[in-house]
């Protein structure tokens, strides 16, 4: 090989290298985020949801009226801009319904910053004179917490179950999916009602209180234990289509154990599908919690949740006096949050669709 | 097809057995008995009640007795409603709940299919956008919120419908609407997606080229292809309608089965709870089997497993 052709090849490769430098690789995540940003509805939903979550987290610090202060002089007050009664600093525990810790700290900060002033009752008051706006904010904490935690519980159970069933295949898969089918045949509500009635019994409750699990935690677990079925089916389908890929074979060749392959290689790759189902499960869970609270089986007073608020608002509807604000505002809060979650889930599903990559 | 049905029947028996056993044990595991809610009974009275309901027998005897009775369609006596057997209560409430659920399902299907087809055929137009926006609202807003708002509007503000009760056809309108609205919304979205896919197929283009009107093309040719996801959805839809009926029956004071299920659970009425679980499980399983059977008729390429 003479020097001239060597030089020519060198230049050719140098030119290719220059060209390659200009091209930027895009990961699936970046591509998805770019597509998501173009969907304005989804972006608005995302911003809305993040702000709702932040407000819910910081609720004790907001200048709202105490959600559990009974004020018999202001029963059933319609929405108004009149000044609200002052906050009584000595009765903070009872009026805010907090048991110390971080919540107490936040309320103390609020009292230091805003003093005794609070936002007037622009959403009216209920049958005990409690401010509806404040109850909506405090109820948001419970409803959102149920949605997120229960979904995470169902995520953990569903993904592990589906990934194991999909990877092992054969008889193990068959048995596992039969169990899922059997569970599908039972309407959830029966299971939940039975579990709730068992766990609400005094003796069982006493035992659980010792372990520090209060009623809301039980609720999270029950709801999460019901919603893992769909997640496991979806993950199983994905795993079955992924398990014949070459990188799985490579991992097996170098001696990776089955468990390692499942959790280290397969699960991260089904993440996109899981994320979409996650954002679509949260509204279902919140809706389910609202249903149960409406029936009186879910969150119980003095805790507040949106479902409970709608229930209480509904129970005072009479043909004589229509207290529309007790139903409209909690219902609106619930509806807008669920709407935003559904919109975001749809947007995510379109953004993460691999068939639309680089479009 | 006979083999398919036979296999389904075997799984039906196994499922019922497993579900009822688990429910039975769960119900017995609940520490409170059926008598802890009421005031303390004198011991001899409580013993008499226990004898009547066979609660003094060992657990295994009660278990076997229950299943023997079950095979003869005898669901036992209710613990709380002392004058009724579970069979009587179910016979009274089931037709009402079933007709409500059926109305809701029919309503959801007709409205959903209609809206979905119109959206797909007039894609991107005014009707498409507004119907799909309404559909998203229907999915996001819970049925009891819709029910409360509708009651406020159409019962109290403008008295068009009665507030509660059952008996006249007009009683059925609001409850069926509230129960079926979310499912109508889902079905319309599913139909629209399915129709859009089908309408882009070659054979539809051929049909149009032959000069067939839009109506003939859609109804005769496109519908069948778009139906499959809707039919698959019917199974979960029935499950959802069962759950939703509990809330709707409470709101509109409809004397169906829902109130019995909730009361049975909160009052520890074992036999009633087990009876309700049985009814709902049978209903759901039957519906799922029907859905699977119908696949064959809609899409002949599908193999029944």
Q: Is the pLDDT of residue A211 over 80?
A: no
What's the whole-number mean pLDDT along residues B240-269?
81
- pLDDT tens, residue by residue, A107-121: 888 888 887 778 888
Q: What is d(CA B113, CA A93) in angstroms, rounded to the nearest whole number?
A: 54
> Do the Cβ atoms of B175 and B254 come closer than 8 Å?
yes
CB contact under 8 A, B156 and A319: yes
Q: Write the DSSP string, B205-269.
A: HHHHHTT--HHHIIIIIIHHHHHHHHHHHHHHHHHHHHHHHHHHHHHHT--SSHHHHHHHHHTT-
For residue B107, pLDDT beyond 80:
yes
Say whether residue B181 is in contact with chain A using an 8 A CB cutoff. no
Rounded average pLDDT over A317-342: 83
Asked if A194's CB is within 8 angstroms of B26's CB, the reply is yes
Chain B nearest C-alpha distance from A287 (Å): 7
Nearest-Cα distance to chain A for B132, in Å, is 12
Q: Alpha-carbon Rg of chain B, whole angstroms?
A: 24
Which residues on A lie below 8 Å from B37 (Cβ)?
none
Question: A222 versus A12: which is more confidently predicted?
Answer: A12
> Is residue B250 less than 8 Å (CB to CB) from chain A?
yes
- Cβ of B265 within 8 Å of Cβ of A342? The answer is no
SS3 content of chain A, % helix, strand, coil (to 5): 75, 0, 25
Is A185's CB within 8 Å of B26's CB? Answer: no
Is A125 strand, coil or helix? strand
Q: Between chains, do B142 and A290 touch, taking CB under 8 Å as contact?
A: yes
Q: Please check whether residue B271 touches A, CB under 8 A.
A: no
Contact flag A295-B157 (C-beta cutoff 8 Å): no
Q: Do the chains contact at A331 and B163, CB–CB below 8 Å?
A: no
User: DSSP 3-state assignment of A131?
Assistant: strand
Closest-CA distance of chain B to residue A38, Å: 18
Which of A147, A189, A319 best tests the B interface by mutation, with the highest count of B CBs <10 A? A189
Residue A96, CB half-sphere, CA atoms under 13 Å: how many? 26
C-alpha span between A172 and A75 (Å, rounded): 61
B176-197, pLDDT tens digit by residue?
988 999 899 988 888 888 888 8
Contact between chains at A182 and B136 (C-beta distance less than 8 A): no
Q: Greater confidence, B37 or A40?
A: A40
Listed residue (A56, A126, A118) closest to A81, CA to CA: A118
Q: Is B232 on the interface with A (CB under 8 A)?
A: no
> Are A190 and B152 an interchain contact pair (Cβ–Cβ within 8 Å)?
no
CB contact under 8 A, A295 and B246: yes
pLDDT value, residue A1 = 54
Does a cis peptide bond (omega within 30 degrees of 0) precede residue A302?
Answer: yes
Cα distance between residue A164 and residue B178, in whole Å: 40
CB-CB: which of B163, B250, B268 is closest to A295?
B250
What confidence tier does A229 reach under pLDDT thresholds 50, 70, 90? confident
Contact A182 B239 (CB under 8 A): no
Which residues in chain B touch residue A334, judged by CB atoms under 8 angstroms apart? 141-142, 145
CA distance A143 to chain B (A): 14
Identity of the residue in A287, A296, A313 whose CB atom sits nearest the CB atom of B142? A287
Chain A contact set for B281 (CB, 8 A)? 185-187, 190
Give the A-side interface with B, CB within 8 Å: 182, 184-190, 193-198, 201-204, 283, 287, 290-291, 294-297, 307, 310, 313-314, 317, 319, 322, 324, 327-328, 331, 334-335, 338-339, 341-343
pLDDT of residue A41: 81
Residue of B nearest to A287 (CA): B142
Distance between CA atoms of B136 and A286, rounded to whole angstroms? 16
Residue A245 has a CB neighbour count (10 Å cut-off) of 13
Neighbouring-strand partners of residue B77: B85
Q: Chain A neighbours among B 86-105 (CB < 8 Å)?
A: none
User: Nearest-CA distance from A294 to chain B in Å?
Assistant: 7
Is residue A215 very low, low, confident or very high in pLDDT (cuts 50, 70, 90)?
low
pLDDT band at A151 (very low <50, low <70, confident <90, very high): confident
CB within 8 Å: A193 and B285: no
Domains of chain A with CATH codes: 34-57+131-356 (1.10.3720.10), 58-130 (no CATH)
Closest listed residue to residue B291, CA positions, set B230, B203, B227, B231: B231
For residue B220, count CB atoms less than 10 angstroms from its CB and return exposed for 0-12, middle for 13-18, buried for 19 or more. exposed
**pLDDT score of A359 more than 60:** no
Q: Quickly state the pLDDT bin for A47 (edges 50, 70, 90).
A: very high
Lowest mean pLDDT among A20-29, A61-70, A103-112, B94-103: A20-29
Interface probe, candidates B30, B143, B151, chain A, greatest A C-beta count within 10 A: B30
pTM over 0.90: no
């Amino acid at each position: 090989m003479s020097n001239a052709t060597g030089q020519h090849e060198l230049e050719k490769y140098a030119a290719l290298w220059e060209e390659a430098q200009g091209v930027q690789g895009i990961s699936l995540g970046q591509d998805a985020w770019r597509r998501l940003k173009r969907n304005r509805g989804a972006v608005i939903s995302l911003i809305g949801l993040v702000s709702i979550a932040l407000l819910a987290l910081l609720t004790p610090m907001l200048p709202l009226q105490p959600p559990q202060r009974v004020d018999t002089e202001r029963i059933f007050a319609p929405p108004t801009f009149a000044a609200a009664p002052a906050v009584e600093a000595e009765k903070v525990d009872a009026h805010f319904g907090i048991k110390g810790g971080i919540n107490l700290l936040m309320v103390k900060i609020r009292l230091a910053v805003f003093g005794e002033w609070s936002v007037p009752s622009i959403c009216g008051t209920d049958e005990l004179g409690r401010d509806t706006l404040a109850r909506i904010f405090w109820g948001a904490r419970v409803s959102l917490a149920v949605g997120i935690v229960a979904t995470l519980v169902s995520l953990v159970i569903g993904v592990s179950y589906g990934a194991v069933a999909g990877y092992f295949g054969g008889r193990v898969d068959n048995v596992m999916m039969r169990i899922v089918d059997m569970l599908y045949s039972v309407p959830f509500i029966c299971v939940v009602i039975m579990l709730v009635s068992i766990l609400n019994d005094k003796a069982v409750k006493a035992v659980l209180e010792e372990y520090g699990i209060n009623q809301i935690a039980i609720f999270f677990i029950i709801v999460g234990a019901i919603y893992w079925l769909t997640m496991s089916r979806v993950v199983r389908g994905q795993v079955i289509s992924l398990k014949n890929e070459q990188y799985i074979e490579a991992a097996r060749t170098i001696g990776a154990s089955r468990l390692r392959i499942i959790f280290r290689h397969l699960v991260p790759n089904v993440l996109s599908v899981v994320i979409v189902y996650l954002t679509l499960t949260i509204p279902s869970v919140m809706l389910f919690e609202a249903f149960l609270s409406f029936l009186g089986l879910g969150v119980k007073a003095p805790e507040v949740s949106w479902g409970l608020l709608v229930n209480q608002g509904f129970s005072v509807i009479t043909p004589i006096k229509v207290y529309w604000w007790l139903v409209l505002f909690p219902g609106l809060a619930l509806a807008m949050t669920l709407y935003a979650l559904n919109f975001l889930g749809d947007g995510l599903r379109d953004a993460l669709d691999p068939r639309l990559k680089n479009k | 097809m006979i083999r398919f049905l036979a296999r389904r029947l075997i799984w039906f028996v196994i499922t019922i057995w497993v579900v009822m056993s688990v429910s039975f044990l769960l119900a017995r595991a609940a520490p409170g008995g059926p008598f802890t809610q009421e005031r303390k009974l004198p011991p001899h009275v409580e013993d008499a009640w226990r004898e009547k309901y066979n609660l003094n027998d060992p657990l295994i005897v009660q278990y076997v007795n229950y299943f023997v009775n079950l095979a003869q369609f005898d669901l036992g006596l209710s613990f709380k409603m002392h004058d009724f057997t579970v069979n009587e209560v179910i016979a009274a409430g089931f037709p009402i709940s079933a007709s409500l659920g059926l109305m809701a399902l029919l309503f959801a299907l007709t409205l959903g299919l209609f809206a979905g087809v119109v959206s797909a055929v007039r894609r991107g137009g005014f009707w498409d956008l507004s119907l799909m926006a309404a559909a998203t609202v229907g999915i996001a807003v819970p049925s009891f919120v819709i029910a409360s708002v509708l009651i406020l509007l159409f019962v109290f503000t403008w008295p068009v419908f009665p507030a509660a009760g059952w008996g006249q056809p007009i009683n059925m309108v609001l409850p069926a609407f509230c129960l079926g609205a979310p499912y109508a919304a889902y079905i319309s979205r599913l139909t629209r997606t399915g129709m859009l896919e089908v309408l882009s197929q070659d054979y539809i283009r051929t049909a149009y080229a032959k000069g067939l009107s839009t109506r003939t093309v859609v109804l005769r040719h496109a519908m069948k292809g778009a139906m499959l996801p809707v039919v698959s959805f019917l199974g979960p839809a029935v499950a959802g309608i069962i759950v939703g009926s509990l809330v709707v029956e409470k709101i509109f004071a409809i004397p169906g089965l829902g109130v019995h299920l909730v009361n049975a659970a909160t009052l520890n009425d074992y036999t009633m709870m087990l009876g309700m679980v049985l009814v709902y499980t049978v209903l759901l399983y039957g519906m799922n089997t029907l859905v699977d059977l119908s696949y064959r008729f809609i899409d002949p390429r599908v193999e029944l497993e």
